[in-house]
């Protein structure tokens, strides 16, 4: 594998570790936090949505490799344990999917611009929702560890 291919995979791995670090450090009450007055998503459902977007991309591939992924119902607020398990699984399957796309000269089925823009899309989407979740928890008075708030930006360390 080329140096560039290794860097592409490492980019996904770093992002995945940050996502897991985030989930591990959110206190249980943080997953219930919401700013919605009309039944919108709490933090757990926001993160379930992020997982489900991964699932849309990975369903067919995950069946081919014998590691089928499970989608959360749109109105379901999964537990911290369920979210961690789901993100660990889809993170691993996504890494294998990215590796397969790299081996296929960067071609991604149903994503015209290729593997690097696809990774950028997923990281952007997931970080948007993570930022939204962080802001929701902050505005709801949920205390998060200071180390978490800083470590999500320390890509050379994580």
Q: How many whole angstroms separate alpha carbon 132 and alpha carbon 74?
A: 18
pLDDT of residue 5: 94
Is 158 a domain residue?
no
State the pLDDT at residue 116: 97
Question: What integer pLDDT is reported at residue 1 of this predicted model?
Answer: 78
**What pLDDT, on a 0 to 100 scale, did the predictor assign at position 86?**
98
Total domains present in the chain: 1
Which residue range(s) make up the domain with 117? 3-151
Closest to 54 (Cα-Cα) out of 14, 83, 24, 22: 83
On whether residue 55 sits in a domain, the answer given is yes
Is 68 domain-assigned? yes
**Hey, is 48 helix, strand or coil?**
helix
Question: Does 108 map to a domain?
Answer: yes
Below-50 pLDDT ranges, the chain: none
- Quick one: pLDDT at residue 153? 82
Looking at residue 138, its pLDDT comes to 94
CATH number at residue 26: 1.20.120.450
Residues near 151 by Cβ (< 8 Å), separated by ≥ 6?
18, 21, 157, 158
Q: Is residue 157 part of a domain?
A: no
H or E stretch including 20?
helix 3-25
Whether 11 is covered by a domain: the verdict is yes
Q: What is the reported pLDDT for 146?
A: 85
In a domain, 156, yes or no: no
Can you give the pLDDT at residue 56? 95
Determine the pLDDT at residue 107.
95
What does the pLDDT read at residue 147?
Answer: 77
Asked whether residue 25 is assigned to any structural domain, the reply reads yes
């Amino acid at each position: 594998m080329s140096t560039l291919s290794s860097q592409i995979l490492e980019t996904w791995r770093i992002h995945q570790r940050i996502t897991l670090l985030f989930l591990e450090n959110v206190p249980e009450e943080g997953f219930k936090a919401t700013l919605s007055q009309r039944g919108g998503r709490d933090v757990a459902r926001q993160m379930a949505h992020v997982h489900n977007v991964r699932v849309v991309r990975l369903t067919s591939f995950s069946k081919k490799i014998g590691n089928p992924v499970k989608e959360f119902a749109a109105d379901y607020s999964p537990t911290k344990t369920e979210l961690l398990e789901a993100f660990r699984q889809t993170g691993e399957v996504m890494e294998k999917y990215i590796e397969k796309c790299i081996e296929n000269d960067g071609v991604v089925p149903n994503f015209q611009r290729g593997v690097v823009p696809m990774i950028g899309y997923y990281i952007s989407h997931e970080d948007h929702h993570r930022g939204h979740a962080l802001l929701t928890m902050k505005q709801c008075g949920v205390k998060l560890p200071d180390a978490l708030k800083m470590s999500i930006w320390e890509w050379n360390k994580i």
